[in-house]
Amino acid sequence: MNPALSAVAASLDVSERITPDRVHGSLYTDPDVFDAELQRIFHRGWSFVGHESEVPGVGDWVSRRVGRDPVLLVRTRAGEVTVLANRCAHRGVQLCTGSSGTNGSFSCMFHGWTYALTGELRAVPQPIGQGTAAAELALDRPRAVDRYRGFVFANPSGGAGPLAEHLGVGGRELLDWAADLSPTGELDLSAGWLGQRSPSNWKMWAESDNDGYHLGRLHASLWRVAPGTQYESAALAGEERVVSTCRDRGNGHIELEFWKGYDKDLAWLGTGREKVADYVAALTAARGAERAEELLWKGPPHALIFPNLFLGEMNLAIIEPVSAGQTIHHHTPLLLGGVSPGFNTRVLRQSEAAMGPAGFLLPDDATASERMQVAFAGTGGWMDLSRGLQREVFEGTDRVGHVSDETVNRGFWRHYRAVMTP
Ligand code: FES
């Protein structure tokens, strides 16, 4: 049990605030709910930390948070990727500032304790007091760290069971799908991250990133200045004509299947085969004709891996909870290994146009989330999530609805309720 957790949060029961088609707004604003989420979702469960491609060389590190806890994703001398607390074991000073770097070891600026890349205490300027063994003074770390296709996840408590179980078949398929887009299976998250701080709750971002209902209305100005995108046929053509679907893959992993509504292959890249012939050839050689054709049509997934990883087509985002009313949405372009520089430049330009506080998409979503936070700030009130409830169907264990249905929101909250129930 996290001793910092308030007694109220420890015994909090949110189950009456979530029904099959309604959620109470206090879940976005209540500080006790936020404290309980840190414990039950981010401490007891798995969450995304980073990608192996971000730390390619020995000693490379990037700074992240697991819940609210600052951590370092580090490449050790043995070539492993590990996750360490970014907090000196002596008196708690932050070891690394900034977002990334390369170190031979980690030395604390306060009294000079020095740690190996694996977190063991290697040197102290004066002897350690009162018989504390050096082995007990290693950097703290999550009890469980695991990876899938280069995506690194941490479970601080170590009690969440295997990562493969958390991801499930659905989560693994989504990560396979993203990695398979690269002819070499390698992703490259080295373009840098842009963090957008928003005065809104983290769950609003998880939902907004995966909401197919708002595209025509909230982003109307974008479609006026940028007509002809893949979303015209996939989401904007009117409910009767749009065949795209959304999918609740279980465990809180949710997906918008825009690809079903595309009108041509490579629509997701905004180009045709002749412009990326080398990519088409390399993907076909690597994956075989059938899988390559499938990927060329579908492009990247648009999905949330619960709770904090957004596979935003050719972008990847981390949703960082700061407080009940503050979130940082970090995002970076999903560059591919084994493609030409021109291909990745195209991805970068697309990302710059859509994402960030000066992009065409994210400011709209930020504004809607911020207005929700303001509107729920008092006693709350109920939020309706019933759209499409009567027409969603099961495909295996997945629930599937029209892309504009709230099947995905209900899936998110169904899992949230399960993991938040004491
Ligand atoms: Fe880090 Fe003292 S706080 S060495």
214 contact partners, CB below 8 Å, separation of at least 6: 208, 368
Provide the pLDDT for residue 1: 43
From the alpha carbon of 112, which atom of ligand 1 is closest? Answer: 4
Separation of CA 46 and ligand 1 centre (Å): 29
Give me ligand 1 centre to Cα 135, in Å. 16
DSSP line for 203-266: HHHHHHTT-SSSHHHHTHHHHHHSTT-THIIIIIS-TTT---EEEE-STT-EEEEGGGG-SSTT
Residue 2 is predicted with a pLDDT of: 54
The verdict on the CB of residue 139 being under 6 Å from ligand 1 is: no
Choosing among 2.30.30.40, 3.30.980.20, 2.102.10.10, 3.40.50.10320, the CATH entry for 47-155 is 2.102.10.10
Cα of 77 from ligand 1 centre, angstroms? 24
pLDDT at residue number 359: 81
Q: What's the gap in Å between 157 CA and the centre of ligand 1?
A: 25
93 touches ligand 1 (CB under 6 Å): yes
Cα of 72 vs centre of ligand 1, distance in Å, is 17
User: In this structure, which residue's CA is closest to atom 4 in ligand 1?
Assistant: 111
> Per the structure block, which two tokens stand in for 298?
């579908």
109 in contact with ligand 1, CB cutoff 6 A: no
* Domain 163-419, CATH: 3.90.380.10
For position 169, what pLDDT does the model report?
A: 97
Could you state, in chain order, the average pLDDT of each consecutive group of 10 residues for the chain (422 residues)?
65 94 96 96 97 97 97 98 97 96 97 96 79 82 97 97 98 97 95 94 95 87 83 82 93 96 91 93 97 96 98 96 97 96 92 82 91 92 96 97 96 98 82
Q: Token digits for 147?
A: 């990876």
CB of 90 within 6 A of ligand 1: the answer is yes
| Ligand 1 pocket mutation, candidates 84, 90, 106, 132, criterion most atoms within 8 A of CB | 90
Which residue, by CA, sits nearest to atom 3 of ligand 1?
91
Can you tell me the distance from the alpha carbon of 371 to that of 207, in angstroms, rounded to the nearest whole number?
15
- Find out whether the beta carbon of 91 lies less than 6 Å from any atom of ligand 1: yes
Nearest Cα residue to 198 out of 366, 55, 350, 344: 366
- In the sheet where 47-51 sits, what is the strand order? 47-51, 151-155, 144-148
Q: What pLDDT, on a 0 to 100 scale, did the predictor assign at position 67?
A: 96
What is the pLDDT at residue 129? Answer: 64
Q: Using the atom order of ligand 1, give the atom closest to the CA of residue 93.
A: 3
Pocket of ligand 1 contains residue 95 by CB under 6 Å? no
Same fold for the domain at 47-155 and the one at 163-419? Answer: no
Specify the residue with its C-alpha closest to ligand 1, atom 2.
Answer: 111
Domain ranges in the chain are 47-155, 163-419
C-beta separation of 381 from 23 below 8 A: no
In the reported structure, the alpha carbon of residue 126 is separated from the centroid of ligand 1 by a whole-number distance in angstroms of: 12
pLDDT of residue 356: 76
**Does the beta carbon of 121 lie inside 6 Å of ligand 1?**
no
Nearest Cα neighbor of 345 from 313, 311, 314 is 314
Cβ of 4 closer than 6 Å to ligand 1, yes or no, is: no
Beta strands 47-51; 151-155: pairing state? antiparallel
Indicate if ligand 1 lies below 6 Å from the C-beta of 89. Answer: no
Number of continuous H segments (helices) and E segments (strands) in the chain: 13, 23
- Is the CB of 108 within 6 Å of ligand 1? yes
Dist. CA 108 → ligand 1 center (Å): 6
